[in-house]
Amino acid sequence: MNRFQGTIPDTFDQKCGLNNINFNGNELEGSIPPSLVHCRNMQVLDLGNNKIKDTFPRWLETLPELQVLVLRSNKLHCFLPSTTTNHSLPELRTLDFANNDLAGPLPKGYVENMKGMWNLDEQGTSSYMGTRNFSYHYSVSLTIKGVEIKLEKILTIFASIDL
């Protein structure tokens, strides 16, 4: 664990090639930099367990490859917005907003649009994924029924929402 302080610089440009950002467990403050929207290949964004004070960044739903989004234990506040498109977060498998100050109903679109949890066969029939044997080499902490667990590898067959 590091102890980075300050803000995350808002300097990600159009050529951003990052696919994994993990600043979990630091002392970062401020807001989530809007220029991260340029990181179109982003698969994992883990900013959990910091002191980020911001509203929910709607532009996150435009990241087409995002599979793991961890914003837990920050100071995020506001009502969660309804999704603005039917294609929001199509690859998302893990969504963790726990321990913030978010309010209002959970937008159905964030769950319904999580196409990353489903497989489509050649006939176009969808089924819950479970036959793939891939895993991420990242870790994430989840609270399930009040018990915090740390997952060292995240199987692609594992999908979760931690609010």
Q: Which tens digits make up the pLDDT trace of 95-113?
A: 888 899 988 877 776 666 6
Q: Which two tokens stand for residue 37?
A: 């929207």
DSSP 8-state symbol, 53: E
Cα–Cα distance between 76 and 52 in angstroms, integer?
7
Residue 157 maps to which CATH number? 3.80.10.10
Q: Which two tokens stand for residue 74?
A: 């920050």
* Confidence band, pLDDT 50/70/90 cuts, at residue 66: very high
Q: Report the DSSP pairing between strands 160-162 and 154-155.
A: unpaired
Is the Cβ–Cβ distance between 117 and 128 less than 8 Å? yes
**pLDDT recorded at residue 47:** 97
Number of compact structural domains in the chain: 1
Q: Please say if the pLDDT value at position 67 is more than 80.
A: yes
* Confidence band, pLDDT 50/70/90 cuts, at residue 73: very high
Q: Which domain holds residue 37?
A: 5-162
User: Taking the complete model, does pTM exceed 0.85, yes or no?
Assistant: no
DSSP 8-state symbol, 112: H
DSSP 8-state symbol, 139: -
Cα–Cα distance between 76 and 104 in angstroms, integer?
13
Q: Please report, rounded to a whole number, the percentage of residues in the chain having pLDDT higher than 90.
A: 42
Is the Cβ–Cβ distance between 89 and 64 less than 8 Å? no
Residue-wise pLDDT tens digits, 133-161: 444 445 666 677 778 777 665 555 555 66
